[in-house]
Structure 1
Amino acid sequence: MEFEHFIHPFDEPMIALSNAPHRGGLTEANGFFFMQVPKNYSGNYREDCLAFERENGLSNFVGFMTAASVRKVLATATSGSVRAYITAGVTNPAIAGEEPPWRPGTINIALIIKEGLTVGAMANAIMTATEAKTYTLMKLGYNATGTTSDGIGVFAFEGETEWAGTATELGINIGKTVRKALEESLRKWKGTKERRSLTSFP
């Protein structure tokens, strides 16, 4: 099976704050990628992400992984200075604090914010995006706060903006982009599931 990935280079380096499997944490990044892996993937993610970066001639990229078809489920949305890139697969919906099912599935959220933020504001942006993600899941009928392997990354410039909560213009734009892109990605993902189901029976 041939996988299709998504690679997004930046015009100039940005500050990154993420839980990504490749170069996660607080770092400087030249871009990010969504790397598609097989279902029930159990490889060495550190080695595989590094190999992916090298094979594609990338340097200092933040890397996310998903078993969903990146080409089919990738969705984007823009509001104000914020652009969201999301891939969603919800075969393993989970609620924080409860024992989850252990099946492959991931929601990856990458937010590019064309503003100068403090690290605290970037952490605030992650909180706002997570709230928007959970609201969208509940709104669409998923009894879940996320999946067991969600990834999120915020990319911004170093600056003075200190807040990105739901009462700020930045936070409102984050919420709008996440909700719109996630809803579209989930619709695409559900469509791929339904098409596979139809082709499984005469």
Structure 2
Amino acid sequence: MTTPFLNNDKMEYRSVACPGLILTKHERHLQLQAPTLLDGLSSAIHGGGMGKIDRIANIYVDRLYNCSNPEQDIRQLFHEWDYSLQSTAGLLTAVRLEYAAVLEETDKDASVFCCTTAGVSNGARAGSARTTYPMYQPGTINIMLVIDARMTQAAMVNAIITAVEAKTAALSDLGIRDAENGLIATGTTTDSIVLGVSQSNAYPAEHRYCGTATDLGAAIGRTVYGTVLESFKAPGVRRS
């Protein structure tokens, strides 16, 4: 496990588990570049839903950011950076980029890469009474998850479920609480996740399930749980 951009001048991290996958820190954003198009499933502001992606951009904005048109803002930045609008998923985060945590796992049937930026100034518990808002706010826990394997669409949805369960478990173990009612938080009010799957024929098995009792689901759980914990260890991350 590592926070590759913390307390050093390193600007690039090359995945060991997923060859050709490169995480780069820029002044304003983290770029996760894949060597080929991935099957994507995400809650990203730009490029969300299901589609083909080969790049994920996690873009930093401060807490005074005007959230009136985040999609337009992301499109403008992608134009400036010469990023494809068709194959790039775009997220916004209010967490400083150097606090990004990375964890990877690999075995004979799949490899998993996870990068998380996490803060919890707006911790919230799903299902409890609290204040809600009609508008978008920049993300507090953003997860970029890449799986080098063959997976059905159903397994991809299952992978998202497992990742969210792992995030919630990490927040519980950290003792993070809903900012309004004091209950243990299940997330924050502004979390987002992007999943990319290679569908590589280098792996013999096609994963049809991805729950916590499967080898792949367990690996997803460990990497997400670990990166949430690691990102919160970074100095300056707001926990309340």
TM-score range, shorter chain: 0.7 to 0.9
1:101: Cα distance to partner?
5.9
Amino acid in the other structure paired with 1:32: I
Between the aligned partners of 2:78 and 2:42, the Cα distance in structure 1 is 17
TM-score (norm 1): 0.88
CA positional deviation for 1:193: 4.6
1:146 aligns with 2:154: no
Post-superposition shift, 1:98? 2.0
Q: Does 1:173 align with 2:173?
A: no
Choose between structure 1 and 2: higher helix proportion. Answer: 1
Distance 1:107 1:35, change over 3 A: same
Q: Does 1:134 align with 2:168?
A: yes
2:70 counterpart residue number: 45
Q: Percent identity?
A: 37
Gaps in structure 2 of 5+ consecutive residues: 1-25, 177-183, 201-205
Distance 1:132 1:111 in 2: 13
SS at match of 2:207: coil
Following superposition of structure 1 onto structure 2, how do residues 1-202 of structure 1 map, counting pairs within 5 Å? 4-43=28-67, 44-59=69-84, 60-71=87-98, 73-80=99-106, 81-100=111-130, 106-142=140-176, 143-158=184-199, 160-188=206-234, 191-193=235-237
| Aligned-partner SS, 1:39 | coil
**CA offset at residue 158 of structure 1?**
3.7
Distance 1:105 1:130 in 2: 15
Question: C-alpha deviations, 1:142-165, integer Å up to 9, x for none?
Answer: 120000010011100347321111
Q: Aligned AA for 2:46?
A: H
Q: What RMSD in Å do the two structures reach over aligned CA positions?
A: 1.9
Counterpart CA distance in 2 for 1:161 and 1:147 is 30
- Whole-angstrom CA distance in 2 between matches of 1:66 and 1:176: 23
Tell me the TM-score normalised to structure 2 length: 0.74
Q: How many angstroms apart in 2 are the aligned matches of 1:36 and 1:99?
A: 30
In 2, the alpha carbon distance for the partners of 1:8 and 1:153 equals: 11
Cα separation, 1, equivalents of 2:113 and 2:48 = 20
